[in-house]
Amino acid sequence: MASEKPIVAVTCTAPVNIAVIKYWGKRDEELILPINSSLSVTLHQDQLKTTTTAAISKDFAEDRIWLNGQEEDVGQPRLQACLREIRRLARKRRSSGDEDPLPLSVSYKVHVASVNNFPTAAGLASSAAGYACLAYALARVYGVESDLSEVARRGSGSACRSLHGGFVEWQMGERADGKDSVARQVAPELHWPELRVLILVVSAEKKLMGSTVGMQTSVETSPLLRFRAKAVVPARMAEMTRCIKERDFQGFGQLTMKDSNQFHATCLDTFPPISYLSDTSRRIIHLVHRFNAHHGQTKVAYTFDAGPNAVIFTLDNTVAEFVAALRHSFPPESNGDKFLKGLPVRPAPLSDELKAALGMDPTPGGVKYIIATQVGPGPQILDDPHAHLLGPDGLPKPAV
């Protein structure tokens, strides 16, 4: 009987997602409702994932949370919003007269431990994976089976997109209460097996402005952002969906780059202006366009979020040559062997024609390292009890 156990724990993993049609701007700060729909690609958890254990027990005195081994303030408003929402759903399910496996659990306090298998400092969307993972684990431990879009979204808007694998749209919704602002899968993770993703981690200069504040300022001051949301994004959502369904890389790549560029244009149109791209980011943009021009077609595409790191989409038959072009343009400083992480990439020669076409002076160390990955599945439950990050006492297990 589950109710006999002093502690009920669930551990799961959730993925990072990368938007190809960008979310920037909320119409409701409290409920985290966006001013436009967005579309993303879920990355594989073999390379990037958050692992979270949620445990409830009648013996816990208070809610507690540990991130990457450090205890954090459980009172942060977004965390509280997630907890409130999941408990509301759990109570709703109880009162609907369903059979009741964990009678008192809704009132039990929860302990949560979460770790990322990638450096948070790298500026990779860790909040999306983190809150999707939290929502998924809490739902399991409290016996909630409904759509978790709202729970995850209250933590971090883009987190609702990490609840699914493959290609995912976050529909902005119309309702004031946000009930129709939900994430839906557009195509499953095995739909486009040739697609590859390279994350280029650029010298991690600390961000001057986080995305929450940046977004708010943009909504208040950028007429371009309002125009984008109303007049540009709806058609782009439809076009991007078509490109994905038809596996049209040329269309997918060009639209991904254009939408990234427009997002960064709205940042510059914000007052005072926001600039997330660094000199290295701009060199990567230049490199991609030169590479494509040399081949006479769009073979690689970039996208940038609220930071200088580039995410590159390409097909498996182009990865080796493009990585060679990156090594040529951004020679690794010292970590030659650690420069490329994730999926293996065979070394490839760079033709003299391509070298000439790139026409850039090398910038040693401009790219710190590359993570090679691919499209992946949504959150997963880990059944192995050894995977739990919390021990039987509900406290983090000591690092082995």
Question: Which pLDDT value is given to residue 171?
Answer: 98
The pair of three-digit structure tokens given for residue 31, joined into one six-digit string: 């409920």
Which residues in the chain land under pLDDT 50?
Answer: 1-3
Q: Which run of H or E residues covers position 186?
A: strand 183-187
- 26 alpha-carbon distance from chain centroid: 17
Vertex 397, ends 394 and 62: CA angle to 5°?
Answer: 25
Q: List phi, psi (to 5°) of 95.
A: -75, -15
Size of the chain in residues: 400
- pTM over cut 0.75: yes
Question: Which pLDDT value is given to residue 385?
Answer: 87
Taking alpha carbons only, the member of 307, 83, 338 closest to residue 204 is 307
* Residue appearing with tokens 């938007």: 19
How far apart are the two ends of the chain, measured CA to CA in Å? 31
What is the rounded CA–CA span in Å between residue 138 and residue 82?
A: 9
Angle between helices 279-295 and 319-329 (to 10 degrees): 130
The pair of three-digit structure tokens given for residue 78, joined into one six-digit string: 């977004």
Question: Which pLDDT value is given to residue 6?
Answer: 83
Taking alpha carbons only, the member of 99, 162, 104, 168 closest to residue 130 is 162
Question: Which pLDDT value is given to residue 400?
Answer: 63
What is the rounded CA–CA span in Å between residue 300 and residue 359?
A: 17
Residue 131 contacts residue 345 (beta carbons within 8 Å): no
Question: Which pLDDT value is given to residue 2?
Answer: 46
Per-state percent for the chain, helix, strand, coil, to nearest 5: 40, 25, 40
What is the rounded CA–CA span in Å between residue 131 and residue 127?
A: 6
Question: Which pLDDT value is given to residue 120?
Answer: 66
